[in-house]
Structures are given as C-alpha cells and as structure tokens.
C-alpha cells in the first residue's frame, strides 16, 4: 500500500504543514501528475491543493517535464535535480517522472484555493 508525506504550503501566509496520507487516502492520489489539483479534504486540508513536485523513497526528485512514473536518466543543464558547478555544464542525471506512483515518498503541494466554511445564517423568513 502507498503512504505519502504531503507538504502543503500556503502562499498567502508563507507557512507549510506536513500531512500523512495512508492507504485509502494515498491510493486516491496514485496516477495523478505534477500540476493536477485535488480536493484538500482527502488529506484533511480545507480548499483545493495543487501538486508541485516530490521525491521517491531513494530521494530522486520528480520532474514535471518527464512523462511517466519511472526513473530515467536525462541530460540536464538546469532545473530540478541538477546543480551546475560551472556555466554551461551538462550532466546525465537520474530523475523520476511526473506521475505519482507507489514508490513516491514525499509530495510537495500548494494550497491553491482556500474555502472558508460559511456559518449557518438564520433565515428571517423561515421564522
């Protein structure tokens, strides 16, 4: 069964919280891609949550431009999973694709839209 640690960041306050998704919650996220949005109530957060990245159990980062969920060696010049030591450097690095699989350990996400629960107002016409 899949278990994920989901780090949900709130851009308006600059704070983040760690939420653990186990079994059924995690199974509902398997198959989603980087950039997909889901309802935060699945993991206990109010609002819509957008997946921005993650890493697998061995620490290899997910890249949004690599399709699929498998690990692949790709030639990188900049971006996620690569730190260049000098200008113009290229290197072949092992990264994971953009699809969430059961090998994923950590998911990074942002709170895209927070829903405020409205209090139940008294209806003057009903009285």
State the pLDDT at residue 1: 72
Whether 28 maps to a domain, the answer reads yes
Whether 74 maps to a domain, the answer reads no
pLDDT at residue 96 tops 70: yes
Average the pLDDT over 102-127 and give the result.
69
Cα 127 from Cα 116, distance rounded (Å) = 27
Domain count of the chain?
A: 1
Q: What's the predicted TM-score (pTM) here? A: 0.81
Whether 123 maps to a domain, the answer reads no
Whether 15 maps to a domain, the answer reads yes
State the pLDDT at residue 118: 46
pLDDT tens-digit profile of 9-52? 999 889 999 999 988 888 999 999 999 999 988 888 888 999 99
Residue ranges making up the domain that contains 51: 3-64+99-113
């Amino acid at each position: 069964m899949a278990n994920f640690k989901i780090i949900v960041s709130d851009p308006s306050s600059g704070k983040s919280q760690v939420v653990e998704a186990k079994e059924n919650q995690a199974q509902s996220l398997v198959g989603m891609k980087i950039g997909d949005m889901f309802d935060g109530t699945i993991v206990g957060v109010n609002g819509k949550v957008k997946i921005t990245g993650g890493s697998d159990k061995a620490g290899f980062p997910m890249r949004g431009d690599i399709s699929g969920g498998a690990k692949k060696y790709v030639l990188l010049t900049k971006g996620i999973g690569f730190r260049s030591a000098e200008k113009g450097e290229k290197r072949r690095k092992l990264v994971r694709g953009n699809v969430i699989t059961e090998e994923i350990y950590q998911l990074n996400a942002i709170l895209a839209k927070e829903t405020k629960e409205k209090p139940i107002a008294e209806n003057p016409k009903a009285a």
